[in-house]
Every structure is written in C-alpha cells, then in structure tokens.
Amino acid sequence: MKYVLVTGGVVSGLGKGVTASSIGLLLKACGLRVTSIKIDPYLNTDAGTMSPFEHGEVFVLDDGGELLFSSGPGNFCLIHVSLVPVLNVVGEQKTKPTQHSVRGLRCLGLTPHLLACRSTTVSSSLQALDENVKMKLSQFCHVPKDNIITLYDVSNIWHIPLLLRDQKAHEAIFQVLNLQSIARQPDLEEWTSRAEIADLLHDPVRIAMVGKYTGLSDAYLSVLKALLHASVGLGKKLSVDWVAATDLEDATAKENPDAYKAAWKLLKGADGVLVPGGFGDRGVQGKILAAKYARENRIPYLGICLGMQTAVVEFARSVLGLHDANSTEFEPNTKNPCVIFMPEGSKTHMGGTMRVGSRRTYFQVMDCKSAKLYGNKSYIDERHRHRYEVNPEMVGRLEKGGLCFTGKDITGRRMEIVELRNHPYYVGVQFHPEFKSRPGKPSALFSGLIAASCGELESLVQFDQTNNNISNKRIHNNNNNNGDSMIYQNGNGNGNGNGKPVVLELDPAIYSLCNGVH
C-alpha cells in the first residue's frame, strides 16, 4: 500500500482539497488503483455534532468510516500546498509564506517531497512560478526544484489535473513511491474534453438552494458539485441562487422586509428548487414554504434528507389538512408526527447515533421518475446520514392523499424515496445522492432535477408506455461546436415493469475514469 498525503499551510487557504483530488485523478489515469480519505485537523471523534460553519461539509463514505492506515520509507509521499502571493504592483512572487509554512510542517516532523504552489494571475495572464522563485523555494524548503509545481488560477478546477500532468507531477510521485516500473503515462483525453466543454457552456439553468448554512458554501460542497456534474453533462451553465431558509419566513418579513423580498424573488426566479439536508429547527419553516411553493407552482424540486422530510410535513399540512403535522425533531409532542426518531437510535446520546453509510433502497414501482432515472434497476445503493425518518404509521394516509413512496428499504418500513405523480419533478430522498456523483457519471436524481428545470426531462429518459423500456437517448450539448463530446445513457430495452433489474449499458469511453474527485 502506498500513501500520498496532501497538507495545506495556514496561509494556503485555497487548493488543498482540489489538489488532493486532482492528484488522485492523475494517478488513476496512470493505471493505479486510488482511493481517498479525508482527515480534518480537529480532535473530534464525531464531526456530525459540529456546525458546518466550523468544519464545512461532512462527507460520508460507503462504510461510514475514516481512518489512516501506517507506512514505511518508499510508501509515503507528502505533498504540501501553499500560497505564493503576487504583488500586483510589481508582479513579484513572494516565497516567505511558503517558507514559513514548510518550517511549521518540519517542526511537526514532516518534510514535504513536493510543493504545490498556489498563485494568482498577473495582468489577466496565467502566471507560473519564475525559475528564480523555484530555486529559492528549493533552497530554503529542501525540496528538489523539479518537485515544485505551480497551481495558478484557471477557468475551472477541472483544468488542475491537466496542470499537474503538464508539470510531470505524476513522475515525481512515482519516483518517491518507487512506482516507475508499473505506472503508465496518464490518459486524460476524456478529462481534457470535459474541462474544455465546461468553459464553453452558455445555456443557463438557475437552481435555488434553500438551506440553513448558505453563508458557507462549503457546507453544501458535494451538493454543489453534483449540480455541476449534472449541468455540464446536460450542456447547461449552472447558476446557483443561495436562499437562506429563514429569510423566507414570516418573522423575517416583519424584522427585515428587504431580506424577505430578496429571498422570495430568488426563489420565484429559479428554474428548480433544491432543499439539502441539515439538523435543527432553524429555517425549517422556510424550507417547508419552499417545498410548498415548488409543489403548488409545479417547479422542479429535489429534497435531500431533511429536504424530503419537510416536503412530507408540508404535504400533510397543506393537502391532508393536518395543520399541526411536524417532525418530532422540532415538535416532540405533535399529534401528527410525520417524521420520527429512528427506533434503534438513542435520544440521550447525540454523538455517533446516526444511520450512516451505504444502504439499499428497493423500488416499489417501476413506473416512476426515480426508477427510470436510475435505469429501471430493482434496487440502488446510496449513502445515508440521518437520525429521523418518515413515520411508517403515516404512510397510508400520505399515499391516499397523493404522495407516492416509490423507494423503501428491505423491511418496507423505512421510506427512502417519495414522489408526486402529477408533478413535472417533485422528488425527495432520505439518502444523500450527492456523495456518489462524479464528473463523468452525474447523480441520476441531480440530472433529473437539471433536465426538468430546463424542460428536458423526457429527452433525458424517454419511457415507452407501450413496451415499457427506456429508449436509447443521446444527451447533446447545446453548443454546436462541442456537442459530440457529451455523455451517453443507454438502456438495454428488456425491462418488463415487474421489479426485475435492467442494467444500464454505459459507454466505456465515457465512464472509464469515474473517480471520487471534484
């Protein structure tokens, strides 16, 4: 087992995560098997109890675990990301921040093998490190000059693996890890095409993100990336409107009418609405109002985890007339508990009590949007992170009112997917599909949201009601000059609507590099 550790100094600020994922992609393109582990610099064994404002997004793996296997010489490569600021007045690149950052790292007993230097643009032109700057960094940081690479500003982060390749970062890593004999030159042709396509998109799609932590976009980083993957895959230029859920509430209308009007203007101007997961009662009423607006005005809606739960609560209140319907997370004594605490969970211990990791969802019907988007499979595996779920005792009443729980767990007691049949796209899921979205393989439900928001859902997945199969459909870019580079999604036409799986045939040229990056 070989390890590559990417660290970032206090002054680096930008690029540690992007650098790590880009290096992973580059190494995988060289024929190596790569996996990733995120290690955060705080001593807390249960990050789920912290606010995303403190640490950003909590990312979930299939097994729900994080660890750092040990290593010996030749099995460990340390890459340090640091900032090389540029004085715009004279265009001088300053090395002191990196020198101090490396000094602090060496005080901890760690010496970097490579330096990844972040630099900005000068006079609107790309700026690599000057040779004399590299020599200075090499001398004072004790890193070979050839192992100092530049990560300057680019039009989109998908260009970063290409920068690393062009500066032969992979060869430097191979030398440190003694992998020269087994690794090949990186094949990034598909990735290059995708990065170029992302620069040329112009047909817009606007998604309103209604959340609790809109002041910190990193709190919803995977959701943002999943939206980006889906929009690029469909040839759309993504625009995200951040809507603070509390600003949609009546209390804000009285306290801050300008913020209230601005929030509702953003929501009403969006092509689609997404309500992501979260915990706590702050902003919940605003999320319920967003779900109601999307339902009543037939605006495409995707609710994730809490976003699904608020949609269920809103439906019970507005359609079933259960005006006190609520989640016991917010109102423990509600007479109509639509969402309840998990039976096996502990209400007295907050840490480590969530249902985390990959769980299986079985489709209850095949004639529904979510099943079609997933390729008419009989079941799917997606990652979870929650303590509360839809009350199974309320499901019958909700379904009689028009909600359809199209996905459940193997027991049939846990509601995993909910849809409105007579709506262009109104889907809620208990799991987090954003965690498995990839640039070359967007999440099915995010693709559905983007397509529905552009009025192109039927073009994404055409369903033949006569013989019940998914017809082959090519997804075109709207730009005439690069439409041939987009992805394909093909069905094999043997679905029969009886719950048996239909395997999607994916073009290997498109899906060969689906990595856990970006």
Any idea which residues carry the catalytic annotation?
305, 432, 434
Residues in the chain: 518
Distance of alpha carbon 404 from alpha carbon 366, whole angstroms: 12
185 burial (CB, 10 Å; 0-12 / 13-18 / 19+) is exposed
480 burial (CB, 10 Å; 0-12 / 13-18 / 19+) is exposed
Residues 387 and 277: beta-carbon distance below 8 Å: no
54 burial (CB, 10 Å; 0-12 / 13-18 / 19+) is exposed
Q: Report residue 89 as tokens.
A: 């007045």
> What is residue 348's DSSP assignment?
S
Distance of alpha carbon 112 from alpha carbon 226, whole angstroms: 32
Distance of alpha carbon 295 from alpha carbon 457, whole angstroms: 17
> What is residue 492's DSSP assignment?
-
Helix (H, G, I), strand (E, B) or coil at 25: helix
Distance of alpha carbon 14 from alpha carbon 394, whole angstroms: 47
Q: How far is CA 307 from the centre of its chain?
A: 15
Helix (H, G, I), strand (E, B) or coil at 486: coil
256 burial (CB, 10 Å; 0-12 / 13-18 / 19+) is middle
Residues 117 and 82: beta-carbon distance below 8 Å: yes
CA angle (488, 492, 497) in 5-degree steps:
120
Q: Report residue 10 as tokens.
A: 């206090």
Helix (H, G, I), strand (E, B) or coil at 253: helix
Question: Residue 191: what residue type?
Answer: W
Helix (H, G, I), strand (E, B) or coil at 407: strand
Distance of alpha carbon 500 from alpha carbon 398, whole angstroms: 27
List, as one string, the DSSP characters of 92-111: EEP-HHHHHHHHHHHHTT--
Alpha helix (H) residue ranges in 319-379: 369-373
Q: Report residue 435 as tokens.
A: 């965690």
Instruction: Output phi, psi for 363, to 5 deg.
Output: -70, 135
Instruction: Output phi, psi for 506, to 5 deg.
Output: -100, 140
> What is residue 49's DSSP assignment?
G
Q: Report residue 54 as tokens.
A: 């403190």
Q: Report residue 119 as tokens.
A: 């630099």
